[in-house]
Amino acid sequence: MENHTLPMDLMREILLRLPVRSVSRFKCVCKSWLSIISDPQFGNSHYDLAAAPSHRLILRPKCYSLEVQSIDTDAPPDTCSAAMYLLLPLQSPPPKPNDYDNYDGLPNRAKILGSCRGFILLYYEMSRDLIMWNPLTRFRKRSLNFENMLTHRFLYGFGYDTSTDDYLLIMIPFYWKTEIQVFSFKTNSRNRKMIKLNVPYQGIGSKFSIGSLLNETLHWLVFSKDKWVDVIIAFDLIKRSLSEIALFDHLTKKKYEMFSLRVIGGCLSVSCSDQDWAMTEIWIMKEYKVQSSWTKSFVIPTYGFSPICITKDGGILGSNMRERLEKHNDKGELLEHLACVAAAGEEYYCANQDQQSAMYRESQLFPNVSWETSEDHQQ
């Protein structure tokens, strides 16, 4: 009988070119496929070669719940791939369902601190657990007894340093001392980077505390006390250096209210409203760090709209002032409201201010980290 088995090298090349969710399912086909797909180098190669990356939005309900919703932002709302429910990793020790008496009244909720290369960074305020979690593979890594009150005391951001193959959490104190703290997930350790700040900055609200990752650099919107305008500060994860990016000229001439700093379409963007509060303007920096490239790309005829992503059809998905999802076309016209409701009837909201949501790209990556592992079971 002829042997029709493909060579392992050829099978690996075929698997590298398949969609990430298909690859995830194919681990169950046979031991040889499981071995190929479970190789960390395969995950890195698949991430770099992916012809059609899959991007999803993760949402956490405001109530105490271990369930989150993951939405394919490009799939039609009525398809099975559009939304799915996932169980979050537990904090340690697991909380009691009626244990609500701390901070904002909901201490056991996981706060979403950002995403990078398919990983979601979660933080439990009560137990101080910091968990790096891959929603697709259910792989997780946990750091115990981390910084107390992290989300109340720092600007923070989650990113990846390609030069050291290391995932990092950057923390900048609200009170603007000259040290920037860099936590390494590879070594489970923290160092303090002394950086002289020539211009005094000030945080402008908790919804701007989460850094936006672009070009291996984290970005925050802050207020410059020296220039008396809002500016973007950028921390380069490889060079470990801090720089400033100017906003468009209008902010130096006219008072705007800022709603968000995001990365959409591979570019920095801000959403804002002028004093009449009649509409929201979305400005996109078409060329990185070039002030003249700021372009008013969308005008949404409502106050307080915050963009999340540009969809494949050229429209824009975002959240309104009530923190509910809605989709607009490229002319700013409302196309639909997207209601996200849990099985128990609790509605999901999309708000950076309460660390409830994040965009992420699905991946088969496994991090190169050395600290204690707790692997999730299939949920």
- Tens digit of each residue's pLDDT (9 = 90 or more) over 321-377: 777 888 899 888 888 877 665 555 555 556 545 567 899 999 999 887 755 544 443
pLDDT less than 70: residues of the chain: 1-4, 62-64, 76-81, 94-108, 148, 174-178, 192-199, 251-254, 275-276, 339-355, 370-379
Spatial separation of the C-alpha atoms in residues 8 and 36, rounded to whole Å: 8
- The reported pLDDT for the residue numbered 115 is 95
* 115, two tokens: 């995403």
Fold for 53-362, please state it: Neuraminidase (2.120.10)
**CB under 8 Å, gap of 24 or more: what pairs does 120-129 form?**
120/58, 120/358, 120/360, 121/158, 121/169, 122/88, 122/89, 123/150, 123/151, 123/355, 124/91, 125/149, 125/150, 125/151, 126/91, 126/95, 126/99, 126/102, 127/91, 127/92, 127/93, 127/95, 129/91, 129/92
Per-domain residue ranges for the chain?
1-52, 53-362
The predicted structure's pLDDT at residue 302: 85
What is the Cα–Cα distance from 315 to 327, expressed in whole angstroms? 7
pLDDT for res 194: 62
- The single residue listed with the structure tokens 């006219």 is 254
Q: What is the pLDDT of residue 153?
A: 78
Write down the pLDDT at residue 102. Answer: 47
CA distance 119 to 99: 28
pTM score, two decimals?
0.87
Rounded to whole angstroms, the Cα distance separating 289 from 350 reads 28
Q: For the sheet containing 119-124, what is the strand order? A: 110-116, 119-124, 129-133, 140-143
pLDDT for 103: 43
Phi, psi of 152 (to 5 degrees): -100, -15
User: Which tens digit of pLDDT belongs to each residue from 264-280?
Assistant: 999 999 998 876 677 89
Beta-ladder partners of 236: 217, 241
